[in-house]
Chain A
């Protein structure tokens, strides 16, 4: 018996009761669409984060205050204030004999304050950074210059601002040389960054950058760093440089073994690997949750197939009377079940793709660089799951149909 025969029968049965057929496959449509949407959004979110990290550069080593194991983040990432990392640690790292592969370093502290120029004022994120910041990050100036080590040591009131902040605060005025106040302290604008967008989980365009020590002593009243970054000469030397940095800080902090570390060292590659691991687990976990609705849909399919078998007892009897074997009946009903779930799966995939596309349009409109990512593998997975559900939940009704006695079936009223 050709497979086109049960497929034709399935199509006719589906069309004969369109609304009932739609309700039957609705569970499958929702389930497959959910799986596609979760995997697409998961992939897009994963890519967004990776792009953020890559935007920082791949030859960077991050130093965070507070200890952690190799797999997890330190407490400072979770917002716990840890004061163990100091500017003097950076100075030690930049001594050639301590970390030969380090080419630039910057400490970071951050805060929020009101920035005012003439009649314009706004809440602004500011960051206190070292003079080496311009070499560590991939940020370019469109005008002016960056501050120097001397200005940092001298607690100078100078600032370099992002392009959007420049436009928002100064309007049509050229910001270079202008004085604005930040938390009641006057700063002179000495440089403006080129438009860059979001990177390293912050948006340079909307930020104000001031010398590290000015931020620590004048703006925040602290003597520690939130974190630091060190640029290494090449990717191949990352591991060695990380080891040198750890050794240098341990010497400075009088730490004898790694068990006593009060800091954490991470490189971009490690960060990317951790992000990938976490987001992959999240993605597949959520897809699994979405898949629960497929279980419900499958049970619905089995129910409908059992009803169909009951309604078609005489037909089964007739087919057996004209020569259908047990396997023909099983194949027929199994093919019908798979046809139904495959139709549901295809519609679900289309719905999933459309919703994911709509989501990407909306998120991009909100200002994020969100890619529309629907992988071929998710479509293949969706299709395969549909077929599998059709087989798993169709086998029992198919076997029941095959066991019908033709004699009793033909007598059935």
Chain B
């Protein structure tokens, strides 16, 4: 039996601010296998973003264990977590977070700058396939402020892909996009999953969550449901197909 990519046991998170403790996550337990497309869905304030930040190693849990590829990452230093994020994790944010006054090519290059095993002369070998995966080769020299919202999000996905991560975290990736651009982004994520990438999608919308294959439903910091999506939406770029 293979080791799950992510295994969470009795995970909790409490924030402390000026002596006041605010519990956000309570005793979470779940596993995610390699190649899954999981949506973490819940209303505002449910703790879904906090869970994503812990799973993405941007934050640490207050209690419990988090095993990533079988290793307990709660014991790792900040630099070790940064190294894992660089090599194993890709992020796609709601507000794109592209560098201003920087070209598409250079934005995608960003994770490679911090990869000590990567040589600059091999840049094209990694960046060009990432550009192709999101259909943005023709915009490689454009500056980030010259792109539409949908194009920016595609560049963000390419940046998340460039170092061939194990897992991509997408936090409300269609939140700032029109429906057509949002559909295009969901299609890319589904295509990536079809090619073997593990995708974790965080959203408050049921419609968006239905593009995944499995939904972890969260309310008040607890998992209230962990279900397989029966009627999955397939984004084909023009409209939706219900599978």
Residue ranges of A at the interface with B (Cβ–Cβ < 8 Å): 1-2, 5, 12-13, 16, 314-315, 317-326, 328, 406-407, 410
Give the contacting residue for B97; candidates A12, A318, A407; CB below 8 A: A318
The residues of A that contact B111 with a CB separation of less than 8 Å are 322-323
Contacts of B86 in A (CB 8 A): 322-323
Task: Please give 5 more A-B residue pairs, beta carbons under 8 A apart, in addition to A410-B58, A410-B97.
Answer: A1-B114, A13-B101, A322-B114, A324-B82, A324-B113
C-alpha gap A387/B87 in the complex (Å): 34
Q: Does the CB pair A2–B120 fall under 8 Å?
A: yes
Q: How far is the CB of B19 from chain A (nearest CB, A)?
A: 19
Given contacts A322-B86, A407-B59, contact A314 B79 (CB under 8 A): no
A2-B120, A12-B102, A16-B101 known; A323+B115 contact, CB < 8 A:
yes
> Which B residues are CB-close (under 8 A) to A322?
85-86, 91, 110-111, 114, 159
Is there contact, CB below 8 Å, between B120 and A323? Answer: no
> Bound state CA distance, A317 and B82, in angstroms?
12
Contacts of B102 in A (CB 8 A): 12
Q: Give 5 closest A-B pairs by Cβ, nearest first.
A: A323-B86, A323-B114, A322-B111, A407-B58, A407-B59
User: Given the complex, which residues of A lie within 8 Å of B120, measured CB to CB?
Assistant: 2
Instruction: Assess the A323–B83 pair: CB atoms within 8 A.
Output: yes
Question: Whole-angstrom distance between the alpha carbons of A207 and B86 in the complex?
Answer: 83
Closest to A406 in B: B58
B135 at the interface (CB under 8 A from A): no
Q: In the complex the two chains form, what is the Cα distance from A1 to B86 in whole Å?
A: 13
For residue B115, which residue of chain A has the nearest CB?
A323
**Does A407 lie within 8 Å of B82, measured CB to CB?**
no
Give the tally of cross-chain contacts (CB within 8 A). 57
* Contact A324/B93 with A12-B102, A406-B58, A407-B53 known, Cβ cut-off 8 Å: no
Give the A-binding residues of B (Cβ under 8 A). Answer: 53, 56, 58-59, 78-79, 82-83, 85-87, 91, 93, 97, 99, 101-102, 110-111, 113-115, 120, 159
Supply 10 A–B pairs (Cβ within 8 Å), ascending by A: A1-B113, A319-B110, A320-B82, A321-B85, A322-B111, A325-B79, A406-B58, A407-B53, A407-B59, A410-B93
Contacts A2-B120, A328-B114, A407-B59 given; does A323 touch B82 at CB 8 Å? yes
- Secondary structure call for the B interface: helix
- Chain B residues contacting A317 (CB-CB under 8 Å) are 97
Q: How far is the CB of B124 from chain A (nearest CB, A)?
A: 16
Q: Provide the residues of chain B in CB contact with A318, threshold 8 Å.
A: 97, 99, 110
CB-nearest residue of chain A relative to B160?
Answer: A322
Give the complex CA separation of A326 and B111 in angstroms: 15
A320, closest chain B residue (CB): B82
The answer to whether A321 and B91 touch (CB under 8 A), given A326-B79, A328-B114, A407-B59, is: yes
Q: How far is the CA of A5 from the CA of B99 in the complex (A)?
A: 13
Complex Cα spacing A352 to B228, Å: 74
Q: How far is the CA of A407 from the CA of B83 in the complex (A)?
A: 16
- How distant is the Cα of A166 from the Cα of B225 in the complex, in angstroms? 114
| In contact, B113 and A5 (Cβ under 8 angstroms) | yes
Query: In the complex, which residues of chain B have a beta carbon less than 8 angstroms from the beta carbon of A323?
Result: 82-83, 85-87, 111, 114-115
Q: Which residue of B lies closest to A413 (CB)?
A: B95
- B114–A325 CB distance below 8 A: yes
B53 cross-chain contacts in A, Cβ below 8 A: 407
A324 to B59, Cβ gap below 8 A? no
Q: How far in angstroms is the closest Cβ of chain A from B45?
A: 14
How many angstroms between the C-alpha atoms of A320 and B120 in the bound complex? 20
Q: Which B residues lie within 8 Å of A407 (CB)?
A: 53, 58-59
The docked-state distance in angstroms from the alpha carbon of A407 to that of B24 is 15
A16 nearest CB across to chain B (Å) = 6
The interface centre, meaning the residue of A5, A321, A410 with most chain B CB atoms within 10 A of its CB, is A321
- List B contacts of A325 (CB < 8 A): 78-79, 82-83, 114
Q: How far is the CA of A12 from the CA of B93 in the complex (A)?
A: 24
Nearest residue in A to B59 (C-beta to C-beta)?
A407
Q: Which residues of A contact B114 (CB under 8 A)?
A: 1, 319, 322-325, 328
Q: Which residues of A contact B78 (CB under 8 A)?
A: 325-326
